Structure 1
Amino acid sequence: MGTPLRSSYSATKWGLIGLTKNIWAMEYGEDNIRINTICPSSVNGERIEQVIKREAKYRNTTPEKIKAVYLSQTSLKSFIDAEEIVGMIVYLLSPLAKRITGQMLVIDGHTENLSMIEIEEE
């Protein structure tokens, strides 16, 4: 998903998705190699905190307000924990996922479009 101030980041992610779906999975499938892309939303930690601070500065508001808006855009009202991504990787490496390839697997707590963030004025 695209967000303001992050066009190069978004472009690289779409590139990986394209390579996964249209090239790698088809090229390596004959060798029984499965290729998938895991697409997590905001992951708890320093990186998302820096993103929030940068957006708060850009929008002339507080990081707390930006974080509250980000969280309000997800059905589960929380960021992703790194352990959840590890869990997806473990599953994909297991025999249970032997027919999953060429997929974009989203772990996002049902995140809506963050590019439409509206900050309420006080």
Structure 2
Amino acid sequence: MELKDQVVLVTGGSRGLGSDIVRAFAREGAKVVINYLNSEERAAQLQQSIGDQAVAIQADVTNAEQVRDLFKRAESHFGKPVTTIVNNALVNFKFDPIAKKDAASIEWADYQAQLEGAVHGALNTIQAGLGQMKQLGFGRVINIGTNLFQNPVVAYHDYTTSKAALLGFTRNMANELGQHGITVNMVSGGLLKVTDASSATSEEVFKIIESSTPLRRVTDPTEVADTIVFFASPWARAVTGQNLVVDGGLVMN
């Protein structure tokens, strides 16, 4: 299915990387659902800037009932079901190397909160869209990971562990759903300059990453967004279960 024929849900789509993902899909002619939890004003502004191709819908991705309602409202608005899911929502996390919890202070509740947002949220969206995707014989799921679980330059224990779990989730879903024409992949950016989540990162950390990266610069959110669009495009139709790191070559697989 061509991008212009897809209905794309971007969770956490009102700000940060999510807003760049929304714009990238809209640029290619797709219909885009801007999911948000608290950022109503920013979601509305983004929708207005795109026009009829976009709709903003509030839902908590960790709440299965709200997610099912989100899918119904999206289908009602566009007259066709969601074909493509980008699991981007980030629950209550800041990339702050100074204020982060260390090994002595991190609590299991911190891990649970990030696992809820990353894995439970992705499970809810996939299950909400799975029936329609099977009927269509087409589906694209792109989960947003991180290069930190391969190269933890800063030990964000809870966040990094949840994204490592999300990769296992991605590959299991890819294995089961491929027979229905549904691909499931992950795109893992590095620290991005600059999103809401990375705004607390010190310039010192950015300089360390910049000097360690073959491209000698920190990755821009638009570059990650374009890679996500690739996974939804016909050019990636034979790709599933993969984790593509988009960080300027800092982590090489």
TM-score band, normalised by shorter chain? 0.7 to 0.9
**Residue of structure 2 in register with 1:120 after alignment:** none
1:44 is displaced (CA, Å) by: 1.1
Measure, in 1, the Cα distance between the counterparts of 2:230 and 2:155.
Answer: 33
**Would you say the 8 A contact 2:206–2:218 is kept in 1?**
no
Q: CA offsets per residue over residues 30-56 of structure 1, 9 Å max, x none?
A: 11100000000111114323133xxxx
Equivalent residue letter for 2:220: D
Measure, in 1, the Cα distance between the counterparts of 2:175 and 2:184.
Answer: 9
Residue 29 of structure 1: which of 168, 178, 184 is its match?
Answer: 178
Q: Secondary structure at the match of 1:30?
A: helix
Q: Does residue 247 of structure 2 align to residue 105 of structure 1?
A: no
Q: Does residue 158 of structure 2 align to residue 8 of structure 1?
A: yes
Measure, in 2, the Cα distance between the counterparts of 1:39 and 1:3.
Answer: 15
1:66 is displaced (CA, Å) by: 3.0
| 1:65–1:89 distance in 2 versus 1, CA, 3 Å | closer
Identity %: 28
Structure with more relative contact order (C-alpha pairs < 8 Å, separation 6 or more): 1
**Residue of structure 2 in register with 1:76 after alignment:** 215
1:92 is displaced (CA, Å) by: 1.2
Which aligned runs of 4 or more in structure 1 are off by greater than 4 angstroms?
A: none
**Residue of structure 1 in register with 2:226 after alignment:** 87
How well do the aligned residues superpose, as a CA RMSD in angstroms? 1.6
**Residue of structure 2 in register with 1:57 after alignment:** none
Measure, in 2, the Cα distance between the counterparts of 1:89 and 1:73.
Answer: 24
1:99 is displaced (CA, Å) by: 0.2
| 1:66–1:96 distance in 2 versus 1, CA, 3 Å | closer
Measure, in 2, the Cα distance between the counterparts of 1:7 and 1:110.
Answer: 23
Measure, in 1, the Cα distance between the counterparts of 2:155 and 2:190.
Answer: 16
Residue 197 of structure 2: which of 24, 47, 63 is its match?
Answer: 47
1:79 is displaced (CA, Å) by: 1.4
Count of residue correspondences: 100
Q: Secondary structure at the match of 1:35?
A: strand
| 1:66–1:88 distance in 2 versus 1, CA, 3 Å | closer
**Residue of structure 2 in register with 1:18 after alignment:** 168
Q: Which consecutive unaligned segments of at least 5 residues does structure 1 have? A: 53-63, 113-122
